[in-house]
């Protein structure tokens, strides 16, 4: 036992791996717990595969299938009907919804499937777990930017038991988005702009909002080079400018592909209407989301919860703009404000959960030598554990 | 730990960066051009808007095509007779679309079914674009209903009834206004004459088809 403790304290990689195993074990228990109480016990994989996971697997298996695409029908048929009414086999929602899901993760699943010669589902689980582990290592490297050594492990604990972290180890866009985002942060912070220019391409092909990384790149470039150097294109700034330009390339390539397939380069955006997402102002989203007579009563508790969590994140990010991670917080603010223009609180919790730089700031402010504050930290862990189970329950019963 | 500035690259690296930037500019440029074209071309409308709809015969002289959204067929609720024979009661040019599903005796049941029938009409020529239309919904505003006007699938006008009062929702393109509101008939005027871009495009009137008994569409200069 003493030997294990010694190894873990001396070897950060072993420590991260051990923490990863413990946290995934907790999540596994939460999933099994959910499976036991699930009414329909068809397949245990369905318990892992929540929300958008099934769509990503479908794309990985068949890629995007050209079909009788008609955005007018889609938009008009979903503008007034409810969820249960658009679940028919031939519903335009069912036929075309996959266009809304970006291709980076499905491509990675498909390639890994060929490489491992396993089924899509098994590969997706292995891949997402590997990405989660990779994310933990990247997070640790990222936390070193501002944290002293004694606080880096607290940050790791917070990351490992981050309640929203459940999505980081499921076959969903977050599992790829978070490691890529952290990798971009690291590359830029260490001045490797060429590497950042490459990493932002898959980032914007993982999720449309990945394009907002350009805000981060701009903020960091201004901090590192100054606006005069950028405007004059002084030597050393060209890779940063290249990174600005490539930040939309993943999205652009996907749009090009959709144009080739269906003649609609904006199909990914148009299909958002299948989830009742239309352009509106954030205050409308909040008011309608939390007002009983303006929204579906059965969704109201989730909507209020989603809105509150989202608002908490917004406040935390605004307050963190004074920290050393200002550029990261600026990007995350854009990432969180963007979905509030869609008129839907749907998935806001998932979108908020990627704000992991906040954990570094939180770890920096936690003084663990104080007994009361340490107790608070444990309470926070308990809350995280409880949340993992609760979120799973909500996601499965919703 | 944090690097503050980049190092000076060699000239060939700068040239390579410039070449990649130029290629990216070309790529983004052609993509924007495609988006612009697809949004504003008639082909786009024909390809992505017209093919799914059933056109109904229209009497001569009426400068609009009337048709019913095929989307009525989707989902359980549409297995009702909503899109079964629709009477076009003459005399022209008044169009009266009867919704047979109103035959459901149990009103509450009809509400539970939450129908969302949509009637569309397309303005066919220049004259049509300069003429306002009256659309009588035959709806009682005593109920909570919502009527929406859409162009190319995007709502441009919406009227919500709450306890007998009409609440008009402002949209950036003012093509629809309330014509009158009586106890048994909420009517609104659709006028696209000041927005030439809508000529030949689809004006969709979204109404709850079971709740509505009928919809009457007529050019306003002919009188109701």
> Across the interface, do A238 and B1 touch by the CB < 8 Å criterion?
no
The shortest CB-CB distance from A242 to any of B20, B28, B152 is to: B20
Instruction: Point out the least confidently predicted range of A193-197, B66-70, B201-205.
Output: B66-70
Task: Decide: B210 and B92 in contact? Cβ < 8 Å.
Answer: no
CB-based contact B91:B61 (threshold 8 Å): no
State the pLDDT at residue A254: 94
Where is pLDDT greater, at B118 or A362? Answer: A362
Assess contact for B91 and A109: CB atoms under 8 A.
Answer: no
Between A and B, how many residue pairs show a Cβ–Cβ distance under 8 A?
Answer: 134
Contact between A266 and B35 using a beta-carbon 8 Å cutoff: yes
Q: How far is B133 from chain A (nearest CA, A)?
A: 22
Cα A182 to Cα A188: distance, rounded to the nearest angstrom: 10
Task: Summarize chain A as % helix, strand, coil (round to 5).
Answer: 75, 0, 25
Which pLDDT value is given to residue A211?
A: 92
What is the least distance, in Å, from the CA of A234 to any CA of chain B? 9
Cβ contact, residue pair B150, A76, below 8 Å: yes
Q: Please state, for a pLDDT cut of 70, what percent of chain B lies above it.
A: 12
Query: Cβ separation of B21 and A242 shorter than 8 Å?
Result: yes
A235 to chain B: closest CA residue: B8
Segment B41-68 mean pLDDT: 43
- Picking from B26, B47, B67, B74 by the largest number of A CB atoms within 10 A of its own CB, the best residue to mutate is B74
The tally of CA atoms less than 13 A away on the side-chain side of residue A361 is 19
User: Nearest-CA distance from B84 to chain A in Å?
Assistant: 18
Q: In this model, does residue A77 exceed pLDDT 60? A: no
What is the least distance, in Å, from the CA of A190 to any CA of chain B? 5
Distance in Å, alpha carbon of A220 to nearest chain B alpha carbon:
10
Residue A91: pLDDT band (50, 70, 90) is very low
Residue of A69, A72, A250 for testing the chain B interface, max B β-carbons within 10 Å: A72
Contact between B118 and B135 under an 8 Å Cβ cutoff? The reply is no
Please tell me the predicted confidence (pLDDT) of residue B93.
37
- The Cα B39–Cα A266 span in angstroms is 10
Residue for token pair 């090009």: A256
CA torsion angle A172 A306 A315 A52 (round to 10): 10
Contact B153 A71 (CB under 8 A): yes
pTM of the model: 0.68
A213 CB neighbour count, 10 Å cutoff: 27
Assess B153–A contact: CB distance below 8 Å, yes or no.
yes
Does pLDDT of A16 surpass 80? yes
CA atoms within 13 A on the CB side of A320: 27
- Pairwise pLDDT comparison (B98 vs A380), residue with the higher score: A380
* pLDDT value for A30: 72
Which comes out higher in pLDDT, residue A384 or A90? A384
Q: How far is CA B116 from CA B68, B71, B112, B206, in A?
A: 12, 9, 12, 7
The answer to whether the CB atoms of B74 and A77 lie below 8 A apart is yes
pLDDT band (50, 70, 90) for residue B45 = very low
Q: Verify whether the Cβ–Cβ distance A86 to B47 is below 8 Å.
A: no
How far apart, in Å, are the Cα atoms of B166 and each of A341, B9, B142, B179, B188? 26, 67, 10, 11, 11
Distances (CA, A) of B174 to A273, B169, B180: 22, 10, 17
Banded pLDDT at A68 (limits 50, 70, 90):
low
Name the most confidently modeled range: A142-151, A267-276, B36-45, B187-196: A142-151
What residues contact A208, with CB distance under 8 A and at least 6 apart? A102, A251, A268, A269
Q: Which residues contact A162 (CB under 8 A, 6 or more apart)?
A: A168, A353, A356, A359, A384
Q: CA-nearest residue of chain B to A89?
A: B75
Give me the mean pLDDT over the A96-125 stretch. Answer: 88
| Residues of chain A with C-beta less than 8 angstroms from the C-beta of B154 | 75
Among candidates B34, B114, B146 on the partner chain, residue whose Cβ is nearest the Cβ of A265: B34
Say whether the peptide bond before residue A317 is cis (omega within 30 degrees of 0): no
Which residue of B3, B114, B118 is in closest CB contact with A76? B118
Tokens at A304, concatenated: 């209020």
Pick the more confident residue, B158 or A115. Answer: A115
Instruction: Give B74's contacts in chain A (Cβ within 8 Å).
Output: 77, 85-86, 88, 90-92
The two tokens of residue B208 are: 């709850």
Q: Do A191 and B74 lie within an 8 Å CB cutoff? A: no
The pLDDT of B208-223, averaged and rounded, is 51
Tens-place pLDDT, residues B157-181: 666 666 666 666 555 445 555 656 5
Average pLDDT, chain B: 53
Chain B residues with beta carbon closer than 8 angstroms to that of A255: 31, 35
Q: How far apart are the first and last CA of chain A?
A: 43
Closest CA to A268 of A86, A51, A74: A74
Set of chain B residues whose Cβ sits within 8 Å of the Cβ of A236: 5-9
| Per-residue pLDDT, A269 | 82
Give dist(CA B100, CA B115) in Å, integer. Answer: 13
Asked whether residue A195 carries a pLDDT value surpassing 60, the answer given is yes
Range from A7-11, A215-219, A390-394, B32-36 carrying the lowest mean pLDDT: A390-394
C-alpha distances out from residue A244 to A211, B43, B153, Å: 10, 34, 34
CA distance B201 to B196: 10
Whether the per-residue pLDDT at B94 is higher than 50: the answer is: no
* Contact between B100 and B82 (Cβ < 8 Å): yes
* DSSP annotation of B50: I
Predicted pLDDT at A178: 95
Residue A99 in contact with residue A267, Cβ under 8 Å?
yes
pLDDT at B109: 27
CB contact under 8 A, A245 and B49: no
Q: What size, in residues, is chain B?
A: 224
Confidence of residue B114 (pLDDT cuts 50, 70, 90): very low
Q: Tell me what pLDDT residue A179 has.
A: 96
pLDDT of residue A334: 92
The percent helix, strand, coil of chain B (3-state, each to 5) is 30, 30, 40
Name every chain A residue with its beta carbon within 8 A of the beta carbon of B202. Answer: 72
Task: Round to the nearest angstrom and report the end-to-end CA distance of chain B.
Answer: 78
The more confidently predicted of residues B103 and A222 is A222
Mean pLDDT for B50-59 is 40
Within its chain, how far is the Cα of B87 from the centroid?
22
């Amino acid at each position: 036992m003493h030997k294990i403790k010694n190894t873990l304290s001396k070897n950060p990689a072993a420590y991260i791996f051990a923490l990863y195993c413990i946290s995934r074990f907790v999540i596994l228990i939460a999933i099994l717990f959910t499976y036991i109480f699930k009414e329909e016990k068809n397949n245990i994989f369905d318990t892992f595969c929540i929300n958008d996971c099934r769509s990503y697997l479908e794309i990985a298996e068949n890629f995007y299938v050209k079909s009788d695409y008609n955005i007018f029908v889609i938009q008009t048929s979903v503008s007034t009907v409810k969820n249960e009414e658009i679940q028919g086999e031939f519903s335009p929602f069912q036929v075309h919804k996959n266009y809304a899901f970006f291709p980076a993760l499905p491509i990675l699943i498909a390639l890994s499937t060929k490489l491992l010669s396993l089924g899509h589902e098994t590969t997706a689980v292995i891949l997402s777990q590997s990405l989660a582990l990779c994310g933990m290592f990247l997070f640790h490297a990222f936390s070193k930017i501002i944290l002293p050594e004694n606080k880096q492990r607290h940050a790791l604990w917070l990351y490992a038991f981050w309640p929203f972290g459940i999505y980081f180890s499921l076959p969903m866009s977050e599992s790829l988005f978070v490691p890529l985002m952290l990798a971009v942060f690291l590359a830029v912070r260490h001045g490797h702009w060429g590497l950042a220019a490459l990493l932002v391409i898959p980032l914007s092909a993982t999720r449309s909002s990945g394009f907002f990384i350009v805000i981060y790149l701009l903020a960091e470039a201004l901090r590192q080079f100054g606006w005069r150097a950028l405007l004059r294109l002084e030597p050393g700034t060209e890779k940063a400018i290249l990174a600005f330009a490539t930040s939309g390339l993943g999205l652009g390539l996907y749009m090009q592909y959709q144009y080739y397939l269906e003649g609609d380069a904006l199909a990914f955006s148009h299909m958002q209407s299948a989830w009742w997402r239309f352009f509106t102002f954030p205050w409308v989203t909040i008011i309608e989301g939390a007002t009983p007579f303006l929204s579906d009563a059965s969704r109201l508790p989730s909507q209020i919860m989603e809105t509150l969590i989202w608002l908490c994140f917004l406040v935390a990010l605004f307050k963190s703009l004074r920290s050393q991670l200002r550029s990261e917080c600026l990007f995350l603010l854009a990432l969180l404000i963007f979905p509030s223009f869609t008129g839907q609180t749907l998935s806001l919790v998932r979108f908020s959960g990627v704000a992991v730089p906040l954990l570094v700031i939180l770890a920096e402010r936690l003084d663990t030598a104080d007994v009361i504050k340490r107790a608070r930290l444990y309470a926070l862990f308990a809350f995280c554990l409880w949340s993992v189970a609760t979120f799973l329950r909500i996601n499965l019963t919703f | 730990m944090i690097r503050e500035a980049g190092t000076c690259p060699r000239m060939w690296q700068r040239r390579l960066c410039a070449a990649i930037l130029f290629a990216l500019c070309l790529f983004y440029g052609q993509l924007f051009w495609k988006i612009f074209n697809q949004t504003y071309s008639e082909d786009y409308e024909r390809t992505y808007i017209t093919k799914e709809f059933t056109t109904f015969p229209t009497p001569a002289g009426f400068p609009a095509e009337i048709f019913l959204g095929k989307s009525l067929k989707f989902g359980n609720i549409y297995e009702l007779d909503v899109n079964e024979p629709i009477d076009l009661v003459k005399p022209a040019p008044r169009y009266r679309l009867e919704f047979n599903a109103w035959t459901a005796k149990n009103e509450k049941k009809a509400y539970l079914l939450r129908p969302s029938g949509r009637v569309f009409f397309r303005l066919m020529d220049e004259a049509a674009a300069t003429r306002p239309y009256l659309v009588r919904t035959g709806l009682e505003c005593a109920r909570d209903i919502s009527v929406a006007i859409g162009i190319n699938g995007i709502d441009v006008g919406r009227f919500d009834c709450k306890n007998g009062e009409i609440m008009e929702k402002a949209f950036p393109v003012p093509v629809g206004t309330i014509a009158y509101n009586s106890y048994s008939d909420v009517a609104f005027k659709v006028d696209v004459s000041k927005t030439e871009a809508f000529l030949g495009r689809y004006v969709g009137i979204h109404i709850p088809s079971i709740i509505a008994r009928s919809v009457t569409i007529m050019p306003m200069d002919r009188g109701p």
